[in-house]
């Protein structure tokens, strides 16, 4: 099944965010993450936009690998969900890590385009 125009547009934003996370590009992340963003990490800890930007900006998580698979999308009017599997590998505060997880991202259309409004990650078993 072909993605809708909204789903295709959001997948482009998703890819831009993925590349920005790999590059610690806070400016690109800031452009794509909603002001009222809320998320939770694999440990269930909530975070807001500023914590997200700090975690993946310069001096934060240094990702070496960010592979996405089994991506699915669902669209409704001004909202698109992106879900799938992810493998991330890198270092944070001098410690190496590798996570395999399921993710669910919520994108909302605003006057200035699609923005990541919410995300949740669950460790894969």
Domain boundaries in the chain? 5-123
pLDDT of residue 125: 67
* Averaged pLDDT, 96-103: 94
**For residues 41 and 73, is the Cβ–Cβ distance under 8 A?**
no
pLDDT of residue 63: 95
44-99: per-residue pLDDT in tens? 899 999 999 999 888 889 999 999 999 999 999 899 999 999 999 999 988 999 99
> Of 3.30.450.40, 1.10.3210.10, 3.10.450.50, 3.40.630.10, which CATH number belongs to 5-123?
3.10.450.50
Phi, psi (degrees; rounded to nearest 5) at 70 = 50, 40
* Averaged pLDDT, 109-113: 91
The β-bridge relationship of strands 33-40 and 79-92 is: unpaired
């Amino acid at each position: 099944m072909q993605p809708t125009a909204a789903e295709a547009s959001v997948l482009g934003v998703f890819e831009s965010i993925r590349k920005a996370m790999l590059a610690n590009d806070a400016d690109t992340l800031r452009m794509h993450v909603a002001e009222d963003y809320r998320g939770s990490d694999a440990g269930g800890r909530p975070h807001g936009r500023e914590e997200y930007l700090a975690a993946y900006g310069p001096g934060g998580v240094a990702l070496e690998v960010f592979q996405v698979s089994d991506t699915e999308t669902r669209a409704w009017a001004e909202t698109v969900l992106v879900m799938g599997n992810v493998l991330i590998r890198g270092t944070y505060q001098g410690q190496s890590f590798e996570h395999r997880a399921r993710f669910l991202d919520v994108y909302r259309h605003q006057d200035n385009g699609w923005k990541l409004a919410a995300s949740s990650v669950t460790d894969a078993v």
